[in-house]
Amino acid sequence: MASGKAGVPVSFDKIQKSFGPVRVLEELNLQVEPGEFLVLLGASGSGKTTALRILCGLETATAGRVLIGDRDVSDILPKYRDISMVFQSYALYPHKTVAENIGFPLKVRKVPQAEQEVQIRDAAAQVQLGELLHRYPRELSGGQKQRVALARAIIRRPSVFLMDEPLSNLDAKLRGHMRAELKHMQESFGITTIYVTHDQIEAMTLARRVAILERGVLQQLATPAEIYNNPANLFVAQFIGSPPMNVVQGALEGKNFVNNGAKIPTPVNGRIARAVLGVRPEDCSVVAPEKGGIKGEIYATELIGDHTLVTLKSGSDMLTVKAPKDFTARLGEKAGVAFSSDRLFVFDENNGLRVR
């Protein structure tokens, strides 16, 4: 492989984007550190792919500017931005073999043929395509085509890698392998990488930092651990986590969260008429009804393997608890949910913000 460049910083500076009357990005300010693996995470329509397309030059921002290093590239053609993009669609040349597709960036740069062949074999091996170099795209599965696209991006060794859902067409086992491979390659090369996904597992496992977008607004930018353990608002709290955080509506009265007559001690203090209590499934346990902060009945149990997911119904609320794998209970059986107050989150339902 050719030697890589040192990672460069990338900045979205007050980027706005509208399509007609529809505002897709609301003044996005985001600084990506040199050599960082940053994941833009959000549901469909959150603005994450639009942000990536503005960075690579396929869309023009309505306002604001994009910097790669200290260079404002807002009005520079994509081919002069020194970036390499991997799309969800593969964008392969159908009349070229796998080897020719992978090596095309080297051919454009007029790299000597012998050196091209070494780099092509090296890049192909990294994505497990060494045996398929003679094939054409029509002879490949979707997952194999995506790996060709990845190898072609790797071989360019640009200043910035941009990736738009690159693993979405792979099966679960290969996706897991490719996550590890991507992370290893990125750390080895030190190339600044911005990766777009709606898959929180990809975000949490790949990123040094995650930027969560919702309706064009940056909700939180932090490490995966910080986002999981200290969500900034109710949206982030419910978006991250599988299964998602349990939420119960009620009121905050002093240091207690009040719901259906139950008073649950919390780590915060205040008075909020419409409050939401949040707790992660692994931070609560199923207990006898009289010992639970919230009481209900067993609605479902699911053995996952190393644990059992227990769903309890309490009034109109459903709570999920991660219980030991040998947990058993009858459907409809009365039970309670217990939790320690230091693992509880409280949100203001009116604006979704976390109560600190």
Mean pLDDT, rounded, of the chain: 92
Are 170 and 37 found together in one domain?
yes
pLDDT range class, residue 335, cuts 50, 70, 90: very high
The pLDDT tens digits for 127-151 are 889 999 999 999 998 778 888 988 9
The pLDDT tens digits for 75-98 are 999 989 999 888 777 789 999 999
pTM: 0.87
pLDDT range class, residue 1, cuts 50, 70, 90: very low
The pLDDT tens digits for 167-218 are 887 788 888 888 887 888 788 888 899 999 999 999 999 999 999 999 999 9
Are 135 and 98 found together in one domain?
yes
pLDDT above 70 covers a percentage of the chain that reads 98
Does residue 126 fall inside a structural domain? yes
The pLDDT tens digits for 267-299 are 999 999 999 999 999 999 999 999 999 999 999
Query: Is the per-residue pLDDT at 6 higher than 80?
Result: no
Of 239, 266, 292, which residue is a domain's last? Answer: 239
Does residue 141 fall inside a structural domain? yes
Query: Is the per-residue pLDDT at 51 higher than 60?
Result: yes
Structural domains in the chain (count): 2
Query: 282 is in which domain, residue-wise?
Result: 246-348
Q: What is the pLDDT of residue 5?
A: 56
Are 18 and 122 found together in one domain?
yes
Q: What CATH number is associated with residue 332?
A: 2.40.50.140
Are 119 and 216 found together in one domain?
yes
Are 203 and 88 found together in one domain?
yes
Evaluate whether 53 touches 15 at the Cβ level (below 8 Å): no
